[in-house]
Structure 1
Amino acid sequence: MPAEKDLESIGDGWLLRGGPNGGYLASMAMHAMTRAVPGRSPLAATVQFLSRPKVGEVEVSLRTLRAGRTHSTVQAELSQEGRPRLLAVATFTEQGTFDEDGASAAFEHRPMPAVPDPEQSVPLPLDRLTGSFEQRLDRRAPSAETVEFLKGATSGPAQVGGWTRFADGTPLGATTVPLLMDSWPPPPHRHFGFGGGVVTVDLTVHWRGRPGDGWHFVWFESTLLRHGYAEIDGLLWRPDGVLVAQSRQLARYTPPTE
Structure 2
Amino acid sequence: MSLKSMLEAASRGGTVEITDGWTQGRAIYGGLTGALLLASIKGRLRDAAGDGAGDGADKASPHPLRSFTVSFVGPATTGAVEVHAEVLRVGKNVTQAQATLRQDGAIVATALAAFGKHRESTIVVPPRHPMPQLPEPGTIEPFPYIEKMTPEFYRFLALRQVGGALPFSGAETGDLSGWAQLREAPEEFHEEHLLVLADAWPPATIQMLSGFAPASSLTWTLELVTEIGPDTIPPEAVFAYEATTDASRDGYAHTHAMMWRPDGALTAISRQTITVFG
TM-score after normalising by structure 2: 0.79
C-alpha deviations, 1:138-187, integer Å up to 9, x for none? Answer: 111225xx34x35x633441011311101112364212222222111111
- Whether the 8 Å CA contact 1:122–1:142 is kept in 2: the answer is no
Q: Distance in 2 between matches of 1:142 and 1:122?
A: 10
Q: Looking at secondary structure, tell me which structure has more strand per residue.
A: 1
* Number of equivalenced pairs: 243
Q: Distance in 2 between matches of 1:129 and 1:44?
A: 33
1:162 aligns to what? 178
Percent identity between the aligned chains?
Answer: 23
1:92 aligns to what? 115
Q: Distance in 2 between matches of 1:126 and 1:204?
A: 27
1:86 counterpart SS class: strand
Structure 2 letter corresponding to 1:175: E
Q: Distance in 2 between matches of 1:247 and 1:172?
A: 19
After the TM superposition, which residues 1-258 of structure 1 pair with which residues of structure 2 at under 5 Å, given as runs?
A: 6-37=14-45, 38-94=61-117, 97=118, 105-124=124-143, 129-142=149-162, 146-147=164-165, 149=166, 153-170=169-186, 172-193=189-210, 195-211=212-228, 212-213=233-234, 214-255=237-278
Q: Distance in 2 between matches of 1:194 and 1:120?
A: 30
- Whether the 8 Å CA contact 2:38–2:192 is kept in 1: the answer is yes
| More displaced stretch, 43-52 vs 122-131 | 122-131
Structure 2 letter corresponding to 1:25: T
> Any stretches of 5+ residues in structure 1 without a counterpart?
none
Q: Distance in 1 between matches of 2:21 and 2:275?
A: 24
TM-score after normalising by structure 1: 0.85
Q: Distance in 2 between matches of 1:230 and 1:74?
A: 28
CA-based RMSD: 2.5
Q: Distance in 2 between matches of 1:165 and 1:110?
A: 21
> Any stretches of 5+ residues in structure 2 without a counterpart?
1-11, 46-60
1:206 Cα shift? Answer: 0.6
Q: Distance in 1 between matches of 2:193 and 2:211?
A: 27
